[in-house]
Structure 1
Amino acid sequence: METEKLYYQDPYQTTFTARVLTCEPSKGGCLVTLDRTAFYPEGGGQPADHGVLGGVTVTDVHEKDGVIFHTCSGPVEIGAAVEGSIDWTRRFDHMQQHSGEHILSGLLCSLYDCSNVGFHLGADTVTIDYDRDLTWEQVLEAERQANEAIWRDTPAEITFPAPDALAQLDYRSKKELTGQVRIVSFPGADCCACCGTHVRRAGEVGLIKVLSCQKFREGVRLEILCGQRAYQYLSRIYEQDHAVARLLSVKPQDAFAAVERQNAELTAAKLRMTELEDRLFALRAQSLAGRGDVLLLDPPMRPDGARKLADAAARAAGGLAAVFAGEQDSYVYALVHAGGADISPLVKRLNSALSGRGGGRNGFAQGSVQADPSAILDFFHKEGIECSTC
């Protein structure tokens, strides 16, 4: 016997009573069927409702051949009349996201002759796939019109048209449909075949915000937020922008320009630092002229600093230059041999003795070790290389 679907009669109904038809043990608890239910089952990209049924928790709901199965944390008595209560916060969030997706998709498809070919209402964001390429400017225009549709606050229309009326109706659908078709319309924005729960009026969606538009297969994938999710997201972004502006001593609306100026200053400072570092490395290398193999222990430096110093030192000293940059027991290293000799055996011994990882070829190697300075000095002392500057 098919389950009576109370969520279609009134998606705002949060409590109900029903008779338990079956209760069978299953993975995750018990699988329960009822004569009627307000719990929406997973379907059409919309997750299932959660809540409580007969005093036990409902963790999942799915439908098969018209029968709705509730996954419950424990058993309920077969034949008993039980009370169900859905998690309204979760339900209304799903209604906002799903209805907002309809409004945006309807406008995108009518404006740019595309089709919605995928929809997923996730725990954090909603993703929608379209079958043609769309520019960011086109998406923002549809977003603008979608929010205007929300502000007009027109009532949603949900109908089950007769076959002849359905044949005359221009509606969106991802696939060919047979039997009774449920049509959800937001006048002026969308008309679509859908099995999900929706708000009564467009205004209840509150807000639609598109977060991203990425190339996906033949078209694009949008990531969006609606309603309370959009409000909370934009509030977090504002608080972040406000905090950044405070650090930069500017108004929030001037934060981007201030960041651009600071980034330009930082880029110039990095270039100047590189120039000075190159000069310093050249002077240090001059002091090592003709020494042959050398070992240098230095404080932490930029990622390519150890390599540049090792290269300069090897050319000046005329042998192997081993540079270790770091502190305490964590160092990066760069090894360069002036003549390009094979140093892989040395690197293998080094990594084994000093808990290191890395390698190279043609007289060059780089990596990192987990060892203190004394262990590094001891290793190279055994290799016949003494520290030139510590």
Structure 2
Amino acid sequence: MAFQCQRDCYMKEFVTSVVSCCPAELKQEVNGKKETVKGFNVILQDTILFPEGGGQPDDHGLIGDVPVLRVTRQGAEAVHFVGSPLEVGQEVQLKVDWDRRFDHMQQHSGQHLISALAETMFGFKTTSWEMGRQRSSIELDTPSVKPAQLQALEEALNDKIRDHVPVTLQLLSIDDPAVGTVKSRGLPDDHAGPIRIIDIEGIDANMCCGTHVSNLSQLQMIKLQGTEKGKKNKTNLIFLVGNRVLKYAEKCYSTERSLVSLLKTGPDEHVEAVDKIQKSAKLLQKSNLGLLRDMAVLIAQNFKSSPQRGNFFTLHKKEGDNEFMNIIANEIGTEETLVFLTVGEEKGPGLFLLTGPSDAVSEMGPRVLEMLQGKGAGKNGRFQGKANSLARREDVAALLQQRCTQGEEEYRKIPTKSPRMTRMIRPMKRHLNRRHTMNFMVLQGLVNQKKDQGHQPRTDCWENRDLACSDFFLSGPPSIISRLHLSGVLAGGIRAELLRGQVVKVEDEPPVEVAVSVQRPVVDVGLLLVLLHAWHPAAGAKGTAFVISP
């Protein structure tokens, strides 16, 4: 059947009766989220509210005082979804949202006119179309539309509007011979009743279920906004009709006035002014990136030079990026330090980087990812990714700090046979090259020489341990420390200079302390202590403990 809205598209109010009302649900999108609304499906004796179809959205309106949220077609019936129940058999008054209806009429009739002239003038057939909330598009069966063709088409369209061409409606039975002479993409499987033909006099006759204007002059004007690449080698033609053109012009004028105020120039100079601003912004951005890189290097160097640096470093920089974090991590560059860096909004999304000892990073990386609600991955002592929220960044830092502290404490609990060693350096795997091996051979030779002289060195648990830190403090009996200090260079791998106390040769003087700097990456702590004990055969005596502090 044809609904009243299809017989008379200009009817704004209508009295009818309720045929049925049953509970139902409607899935709709609210503020970008899909929600399910409970309500009722109402079928009326007839309706002036158009159910969606033919590329045209449905009408909105009222049944009495009850808003109609959705209208769909099911066979020969129009189903109205409402939030409140209606009594079956009662007489109700329908009222259509006219602004929405007339906008749809303008866009739909405009589409018919554009499709007809595009095919007549250039042979571009319409394969589909879409009516959007702000703009509409027609899919043309052509790989491209030239600018000159677009301009000629727009001029022809508006000429037809000014010609005041009538648009008429015909209702034909399905077996009418005239049905075969009109354009059609086919009828729905559940179609029932007569067939509607929309005839633009002398221009186009097309099968259509939608609502239309009665004369092309009511379209006011058509603006073709351009084309976009479509699917399967087709082109999408973007257009506005009638009131949408006026709204677009009003929006453009408002934007132009704002730009005049911001740029302090006339409309004709806006492009040039914006171009200058963009170039200036690029230069500033480049300068800022350079400053950020320099800042990253200084931050890392400041941490490395601090005597209280510890084994954990964390930093958040709102303006930073991946490169900023990588520079800091690479500059710190030690497997002994766990580094946690973040950039972005403090409570919003951002980026993060976790580097350090492979075991710690592998263990803590997934936990960091979970706490920051992010996505990422890691390997070889690096774990990085995107965080949906940095709100718990401080909690993550506290957790990592705790992990570092616990790791150090657990290491210090390693049993040792030498109670006089109050602190140990964390061992690391040996990475020896030929040069290092030669140094160890020199150390071992000195130890063997002392053994031959009758001194028994104390090796305790220090065998097979490596020293990887760049510097440390050594305290012990002055006679031994003096040997280390005065020698200047120990086996070519260690340098020492007096830091505190006075070097004397009297063994009952208070211990002195020297600063020791490792000149090569790996030095065997065991051999160093064996050598020290070999120099001082009474290592087990009171006051002869050696204390190493990183």
Quote the Cα distance in structure 2 between the aligned partners of 1:82 and 1:220. 46
Which residue of structure 2 lines up, in the alignment, with residue 7 of structure 1?
Answer: 5
Q: TM-score, normalised by structure 1?
A: 0.75
Quote the Cα distance in structure 1 between the aligned partners of 2:223 and 2:67. 33
Say how many residue pairs are matched.
375
The answer for unaligned runs of 5 or more in structure 2 is: 25-38, 409-425, 427-550
Which residue of structure 1 lines up, in the alignment, with residue 324 of structure 2?
Answer: 306
Give the CA deviation at 1:44: 1.6
Give the CA deviation at 1:11: 1.8
- 1:29 aligns with one of 25, 40, 43: 40
The answer for unaligned runs of 5 or more in structure 1 is: 386-390
Give the greater-gyration-radius structure (CA).
2
Aligned-partner SS, 2:393:
coil
Which residue of structure 1 lines up, in the alignment, with residue 213 of structure 2?
Answer: 199
Map 1:1-390 → 2, pairs under 5 A: 5-18=3-16, 20=17, 22-27=19-24, 28-34=39-45, 36-53=46-63, 56-63=66-73, 66-71=76-81, 73-76=84-87, 78=89, 82-135=92-145, 137=147, 138-139=149-150, 141-160=152-171, 163-165=176-178, 167=180, 169=181, 171-175=182-186, 181-187=195-201, 190-210=204-224, 213-282=228-297, 295=313, 297=315, 299-315=317-333, 320=337, 322=339, 324-325=341-342, 333-336=352-355, 344-345=361-362, 347-348=364-365, 351=368, 358-367=376-385, 370-372=392-394, 375=398, 378-379=401-402, 382=405
Residues 300, 67 of structure 1: CA spacing in aligned structure 2 closer, same or farther, 3 A cutoff? closer
Q: 2:9 is aligned with what amino acid?
A: P
Percent identical pairs in the alignment equals 23
Deviations 1:132-185 (A, max 9, x none): 323373556534433343333322233357945555x5x432237999643323
Deviations 1:28-76 (A, max 9, x none): 3353332x54343332222333334466554444455545555564335
CA contact (8 A) 2:362 2:379 kept: no
CA contact (8 A) 1:282 1:312 kept: no
Larger mean CA deviation between 295-304 and 375-384 belongs to: 375-384
Greater length-normalized contact order (CA 8 Å, ≥ 6 residues apart): 1
Residues 241, 309 of structure 1: CA spacing in aligned structure 2 closer, same or farther, 3 A cutoff? farther
Give the CA deviation at 1:125: 4.0
Larger mean CA deviation between 347-356 and 131-140 belongs to: 347-356
Aligned-partner SS, 2:9:
coil
Residues 322, 237 of structure 1: CA spacing in aligned structure 2 closer, same or farther, 3 A cutoff? farther
Larger mean CA deviation between 324-333 and 304-313 belongs to: 324-333
Which residue of structure 2 lines up, in the alignment, with residue 388 of structure 1?
Answer: none
Q: 2:277 is aligned with what amino acid?
A: Q
CA contact (8 A) 2:292 2:324 kept: no
Q: 1:11 is aligned with what amino acid?
A: C
Q: 2:284 is aligned with what amino acid?
A: A
